[in-house]
Chain A
Amino acid sequence: MAPTAASRARRTPPSLGIALGMVAGAALLLAVTRELFLLQVLTFVFIFAIYAQSWNLVAHSGQFSLGHATFLGLGGYASILLARNLGLPPAVSLFVGPLLPALVGLGIGRLCVRLREWYLGMVTFGFTAITQLLVVEQFGWLTNRWDGLEAPRLLPAGLSVEGAAVGNYLIGLGLMVATYLAVASLMRSRTGLAFATIHDNELVAGVSGVDVRRYRILAMGAGGYLAGLAGALNGHTLTRHISPGVFGIEDSIWPLLYSIAGGLRTPEGPILGTLVVRLFWELMLRRLGGFESLITIVLMLAVIVRFFPQGLYPLVLRGVAAVGARPAVRR
């Protein structure tokens, strides 16, 4: 309800400070090391933190999407096609392309406006499969079917390998921080308050004058844009290629895992979650195969859900408070 959302905002540290902290930390790391692999992993974390942020924003409005890969993939395809077929510079298509998943998000939001919980989960889950089908079969002439498309690079050609890695790292960081600030201020605005009210009780929200329908659709649309942005960014920087595999179940599940691990319904949670889970994942891959690592990750998350239902972010806050750095972050 309203008071919870308001008090939550009050007891968390100001987002601008956190944003500056993230930038400072990332810059410091860059000053210390140029290890290519590490930079790539962190770029991945930045991009997928945007993706998780998108899922978390939609969840903030009480809608648990289980088909978020729809937006991720459509954003990637739209931007890559705009760049390839219409000759748009990737720096532009990166922001125009996600309008497609934003529209699709509005459509799905409208379609599912009365569905909740398991129903919404089942329907959104199904959307990913139908989107894949459409992309491969109905639009196969455009998308090159299962083989997928090469993606034009975002950075100018001719950069050194290290230069490109640093460039991608900085672009990912910048967009992640921008997304973070946007979502944080959105969550504190009247709109965010409306989302939170709907999340807590749709009926009460409706009775107290919140236009549930409008805000739910809006949340899906905004989520669609951000997820699409992550998909486009990923395509133009890291993978440099997109294929229908992006519409798999796994890519719909990851943002949920990241958000839950970090802490649902806070703008910091998805970032923290993506970082922790992803680093853990990379560490595990050194010892175990992919299958075992994935199972271990999921089990680890189950433990987090069981014992820290609020995710890791409150733990971090408590840790900071315990050190005494910030008396304001009491729990």
Chain B
Amino acid sequence: MILDPGVLLQVLIWGLVIGSVYMLLATGLTLIFGVMKVINFAHGELMMTGAFLTFLLWHALGLHPYLGVFVSMAGVGLLGIAVERLGFRPLRGTAKINEIFLSIALILILQNALARAFIPYFREYAQIRTPYAHRVFDLGLLNLRYDFAILLGLTWAVMLGLYLLLFRTEFGREMRGTSQNRLAAALMGIDVGRIDTASFGIGAGLAALAGSLYGIINPFSPYSGTLPAIKAFAVIILGGLGSIRGAVLGGLLYGVVEGFATFFLGGAWRDATAFILLLLVLLVRPEGIFRERA
């Protein structure tokens, strides 16, 4: 029965879980764009780096995936910091095409580095198996997988942490200030270069969480990050570039819409939802939704 509330709830939960992946990616992208005015096209590849790191820690060292996630976030966060320092910073103030080139070139570098490092050892697809892979909470109407519950909890804990950082600390205020007006921030004594580094590090860390999450629920390869990243692009365009709220709500909503579209229309539509939405918005109100601050 298609309209069985239990099934619908199940679809909703699935949508929220996959929506968490999009939310984490979109939040990182929009955070980086807000501060640096740069789109990290390789965000999906940072995500997969996170997935492989968690995978490696679990597979080779036997580290519990839900602990490995944090190591992976820190590792990819450091990678993000290196990318900002060695890559984007020297290009600041030069032609825009240079930043675009670097951003897109990082895709090739990361994809191929991951493929080089992992494919020979783990064949084409990897998956992270948690000890709870087959356990479910029986909630009457629906069966909730342990993993889903943990993933949702973990994501929201991290998002809460990010919220507190951004809106309850001095550093967060500096970060938001830089995002809203870079010149004024510098005039207020804020070292905007440091904020750039931090935003890229945080964005990369969130991507690593998204990747680990993805890797626990799906088999993955170095190339699996592209499509989720494209969806995250759609989400931040729809939600307004630089807007964290837009990224959070947009990401979750997108996941849920995708979940229901897949369920009612079939798998072929899963990945098309984003673009149909994007095209509609571009057609109907090309400027209305785009707000870019110089």
Q: B237 to A256, Cβ gap below 8 A? A: no
CB of A294 closer than 8 Å to a CB of B: yes
Known A111-B279, A123-B278, A126-B234; judge A309-B94 contact (CB<8 A).
Answer: yes
- Distance to closest chain A CB from B265 (angstroms): 11
CB of B98 closer than 8 Å to a CB of A: yes
CB of B149 closer than 8 Å to a CB of A: no
Q: B39 to A122, Cβ gap below 8 A? A: yes
When A and B form their complex, what is the total count of cross-chain residue pairs whose Cβ atoms lie within 8 Å? 112
Partner among B38, B107, B275 whose Cβ is within 8 Å of the Cβ of A126: B275
Residue of A nearest to B266 (CB): A137
CB of B108 closer than 8 Å to a CB of A: yes
With a cutoff of 8 Å between Cβ atoms, the chain A residues found around residue B275 in the complex are: 126-127, 129-130
B89-127 interface with A by 8 A CB criterion: 90, 94-98, 100-102, 104-105, 107-109, 112-113, 115-116
CB of A1 closer than 8 Å to a CB of B: no
In the bound assembly, the distance between CA atoms of A268 and B109 in angstroms comes to 27
Q: A305 to B230, Cβ gap below 8 A? A: no
With a cutoff of 8 Å between Cβ atoms, the chain B residues found around residue A115 in the complex are: 282, 286, 290
In the bound assembly, the distance between CA atoms of A127 and B272 in angstroms comes to 10
With a cutoff of 8 Å between Cβ atoms, the chain A residues found around residue B104 in the complex are: 66, 121, 253, 256
CB of A156 closer than 8 Å to a CB of B: no
Q: B102 to A111, Cβ gap below 8 A? A: no
Q: A298 to B279, Cβ gap below 8 A? A: no
Contact with A along B185-202 (1 / 0, CB 8 A): 000000000000000000
Residue of B nearest to A252 (CB): B104
A114-139 interface with B by 8 A CB criterion: 114-115, 117-119, 121-123, 125-127, 129-130, 133-134, 137-138
Q: A118 to B101, Cβ gap below 8 A? A: no
In the bound assembly, the distance between CA atoms of A26 and B234 in angstroms comes to 46
Residue of B nearest to A134 (CB): B272
CB of A291 closer than 8 Å to a CB of B: yes
In the bound assembly, the distance between CA atoms of A296 and B169 in angstroms comes to 42
- Distance to closest chain B CB from A232 (angstroms): 25
Q: A253 to B290, Cβ gap below 8 A? A: no
Q: A64 to B100, Cβ gap below 8 A? A: yes
Q: B41 to A123, Cβ gap below 8 A? A: no
Contact with A along B34-67 (1 / 0, CB 8 A): 0001110100000000000000000000000000
Q: B108 to A294, Cβ gap below 8 A? A: yes
Contact with A along B261-282 (1 / 0, CB 8 A): 0000000100110110011001
Q: How large is the interface on A (under 10, 10 to 19, 20 to 34, 35 or more residues)?
A: 35 or more
Q: B107 to A264, Cβ gap below 8 A? A: no
Residue of B nearest to A260 (CB): B101
In the bound assembly, the distance between CA atoms of A94 and B101 in angstroms comes to 31
A40-83 interface with B by 8 A CB criterion: 59, 64, 66
CB of B233 closer than 8 Å to a CB of A: yes
- Distance to closest chain B CB from A97 (angstroms): 24
In the bound assembly, the distance between CA atoms of A127 and B271 in angstroms comes to 12
Q: How large is the interface on B (under 10, 10 to 19, 20 to 34, 35 or more residues)?
A: 35 or more
With a cutoff of 8 Å between Cβ atoms, the chain B residues found around residue A66 in the complex are: 41, 100, 104
Q: B97 to A119, Cβ gap below 8 A? A: no
Q: B290 to A305, Cβ gap below 8 A? A: no
In the bound assembly, the distance between CA atoms of A117 and B294 in angstroms comes to 13
Q: B233 to A112, Cβ gap below 8 A? A: no
CB of A289 closer than 8 Å to a CB of B: yes
Partner among B95, B102, B115, B234 whose Cβ is within 8 Å of the Cβ of A309: B95
Q: B112 to A133, Cβ gap below 8 A? A: no
- Distance to closest chain A CB from B45 (angstroms): 10
What would 27 A/B residue contacts be, using CB atoms closer than 8 Å?
A: A64-B96, A64-B100, A112-B282, A114-B286, A115-B282, A115-B290, A118-B39, A119-B237, A122-B39, A122-B234, A123-B278, A126-B233, A126-B274, A129-B275, A133-B271, A249-B107, A253-B107, A256-B104, A260-B101, A290-B112, A291-B112, A291-B113, A294-B108, A295-B108, A295-B109, A295-B112, A305-B102
Taking beta carbons and an 8 Å cutoff, which residues of A are in contact with B? Answer: 59, 64, 66, 111-115, 117-119, 121-123, 125-127, 129-130, 133-134, 137-138, 249-250, 253, 256-257, 260, 264, 289-292, 294-295, 298-299, 301-302, 305-306, 309
Taking beta carbons and an 8 Å cutoff, which residues of B are in contact with A? Answer: 33, 37-39, 41, 90, 94-98, 100-102, 104-105, 107-109, 112-113, 115-116, 226-227, 230, 233-234, 237, 241, 268, 271-272, 274-275, 278-279, 282-283, 286-287, 290, 292
Q: A118-B241, A119-B237, A309-B94 are in contact. List 8 more A-B contacts (CB 8 A).
A: A121-B100, A125-B233, A129-B226, A138-B268, A249-B107, A289-B116, A298-B105, A298-B108
